[in-house]
Structure 1
Amino acid sequence: MAEIKIEKKRPVWPWVVLILIVLAIIVYFIYENRDNDDYNDDLNDGTTTEQMDDSIDLQSDSTYDPNQNYSSTFDEFSAFEESISDSTRIAVDSSYTKKAFSNLAKAVVAKADESALQNSEALNYLRDYSTLSANMSSTTQGMEASKNFKTPSEEIVTVLGAIQSKKYPALQSQVSDLKQIAAKVDGSKRMDGQQAFMNSFLNKAKDVLQAMNN
């Protein structure tokens, strides 16, 4: 009598487990992608909002320039302030002194432009002064160097006086003091003998500009 072979049924649960694992993986990736999308949306929204806030802040700032060139008033003043940080070199080192006066002229011109001051002979002189002063010899000493700073100091006072009359009436006495100091700078005397006057002039000019910028 022939034997009848009966095959045992393979258990189904391994397949069930496998299907559940696959489903779990699919669900995981679906939620992971959705979370990433939400995060990116939040990030983009945050960046956009921040950029808009920055844009509003910049546009509300009087020194903002749409071409990314900010008004040079503050920058020029900072450059001038830095250039007189070593008072011992003023009127002793002609190159250092030249840079200080040149930077002061730039700061005054920037303030004049910001104040919409009309062009004048003094203002045009200061516009050209930085270019003209670049041609001065860095070794120029004595009376010749002193002459190079007498005229710019007078023109600086003239332009600052015009700005003060137009926009800053409370600064009249300070500008008058600056004018008196400028009058003491003597183009007929050696520069290194006028260190106190030149330092006083440059620092007083800094104070006037700072008051106008506040």
Structure 2
Amino acid sequence: MAEIKIEKKKPVWPWVILILVVLAIIAYLVYDNDNDMDDDFDDDYSEEQVIDSLNTQSTYDPYNNSDTSSTYDQFTAYDEAISDSTRVAIDSSYTKNAFANLAKVVVHKADEHAIAESPALTDLRNFSSLKTSISTTTKETEGFKNFKTATDKIVTVMETVQQKSFPSLQTQMADLKQSASKIDGSKALKEQQHQIYTFFRQSRDVLKMMNN
């Protein structure tokens, strides 16, 4: 009687592992590419960056643990946050920390001059007091899809303050608006280092004049 040979089935688990490895590589490349587009404000903040509470009137300062810091203290924190021009727009965390400080100064200045609440001011107020976590997207940050949107909100609120209380700063405000218009929301921050640092620096200069 002829012997019937039974061929053993080859195990499928090596193929499963191979597929998982390929998917992991693809996921890593996609995630890494997203990180290069540093103009998204919905990602992580380190502990030195985040704001300490969801209180919309918070005046927390990452350089000062006091919740009663003055406009001057906040302005000093912002000035320090942009002191290294080589990291602006290159280091994502550094850039976002600088913007968080800028947002706080502008909100405080708006409150100081009794500026009426507006969508732009509300978004800045929420952003400047919002503590975020890894991979968290909340309704408070929906208005900050990229740096271009954020700079436009800063300019809108600052211009309102300028028109109400600092009419002599009209030229400086116009220059700041022009700098903001040169920032392209479709480009990564690192491709616009000069434009972004110029915006930060001019914002600082106008706010300094508003403090005098």
* TM-score interval for Structure 1 and Structure 2 normalised by the shorter chain: 0.5 to 0.7
Task: Provide, for residues 81-112 of structure 1, a one-character-per-residue CA deviation record: whole Å limited to 9, x for no partner.
Answer: 01000000000000000000110000000111
Where do residues 136-155 of structure 1 align in structure 2 (5 Å cutoff)? 148-155=146-153
After the TM superposition, which residues 185-200 of structure 1 pair with which residues of structure 2 at under 5 Å, given as runs? 185-200=183-198
Q: Residue in 2 aligned with 1:109?
A: 107
Task: Measure the CA separation in 2 of the matches of 1:136 and 1:87.
Answer: 26
Structure 2 equivalent of residue 45 of structure 1:
none
2: distance between equivalents of 1:114 and 1:206? 17
The match for 1:87 among 85, 88, 97 is 85
Q: CA deviation at 1:207?
A: 0.3
Higher helix fraction: Structure 1 or Structure 2? 1
2:157 aligned residue: 159
Query: How far is the alpha carbon of 1:130 from its aligned partner?
Result: 2.7
CA displacement, residues 186-206 of structure 1 (integer Å, 9 cap, x when unaligned): 110121010000000000000
CA RMSD of aligned residues (A): 2.1
After TM superposition, list the pairs within 5 Å mapping 1:14-29 onto structure 2.
Answer: none
Letter in 1 for 2:126: D
Note the residue ranges of structure 1 that are not aligned, 5 or more in a row: 1-67, 138-145
| 1:133-154 CA-partner distances (Å, limit 9, x unpaired) | 84577xxxxxxxx953111110
AA paired with 1:112?
A
Distance 2:183 2:134 in 1: 19
Structure number with the bigger relative contact order (C-alpha 8 A, sep ≥ 6) is 2
Change (3 A) 1:136 1:158: farther
Gaps of 5+ in 2: 1-65, 136-143
- TM-score with structure 2 setting the length: 0.61
User: Structure 2: how far apart are the matches of 1:106 and 1:213?
Assistant: 14
Paired residues in the alignment total 139
Picking from 109, 125, 128, the partner of 1:127 is 125
Percent of aligned pairs with the same amino acid: 54
User: 8 Å contact 1:147–1:187 — kept in the other structure?
Assistant: no
Partner secondary structure for residue 90 of structure 1: coil
Distance in 2 between residues matched to 1:133 and 1:152, nearest whole Å: 17
Q: Could you tell me which amino acid in structure 2 is paired with residue 88 of structure 1? A: T
Post-superposition offset of 1:163: 0.2
- Residues 136 and 191 (structure 1 numbering): CA distance in 2 closer, same or farther, change over 3 Å? farther
Aligned residue type for 2:188: R
> How far, CA to CA, are the matches of 2:101 and 2:170 in structure 1?
23
The one-letter code of the counterpart of 2:85 is: S
Q: Distance in 2 between matches of 1:133 and 1:184?
A: 29
Deviation at 1:75, TM superposition (A): 1.3
In structure 1, distance between residues paired with 2:166 and 2:111: 15
- Higher-Rg structure is 1
For 2:163 and 2:151, the matched residues in 1 are separated by 18
* Structure 1 residues 152 and 136: alpha-carbon distance in aligned structure 2, compared to 1, 3 A threshold: farther
Contact kept? 1:101, 1:149, Cα under 8 Å: no
Provide the rounded CA distance (Å) in 2 between the counterparts of 1:102 and 1:210: 17
Say whether 1:177 aligns with 2:180. no
Question: Secondary structure in 1 aligned to 2:184?
Answer: coil
CA separation in 1, counterparts of 2:132 and 2:76?
Answer: 20
